[in-house]
Amino acid sequence: MITTKQAVEKITTEIINDDELRKGYQANIAMAFYDEYKKQAEARDYIDLGKLDMHEIANKAADNFLKLWCVG
């Protein structure tokens, strides 16, 4: 039976070596961030950033997450 550690190591290796898989993870993480930020901003009457700014911020956040995950 594969351990959680082994599974995470395998996924990490695949993300490092497969650009399309990495882009898929990045896009999904970015959209989760974007959706949640927008939901919270609307609920609290925050001034909304432009859509381009939000997508840029969300993608940078997702990229940073993956760098931290894959580098350690």
pLDDT digits (tens, 9 = 90+) for 21-41: 999 999 989 988 888 777 877
Non-local (6+) Cβ contacts of 33 within 8 A are 57, 58, 61, 62
Query: What's the half-sphere exposure (Cβ side, CA atoms, 13 Å) at 71?
Result: 6
Q: Supply φ then ψ for residue 12, to 5 degrees.
A: -60, -45
Range of the structural domain that residue 43 is part of: 4-71
pLDDT for 43: 72
Query: What is the domain count for the chain?
Result: 1
DSSP state of 50: P
pLDDT bracket for residue 47 (50, 70, 90): low
Strand segments, DSSP code E, in 1-72 are none
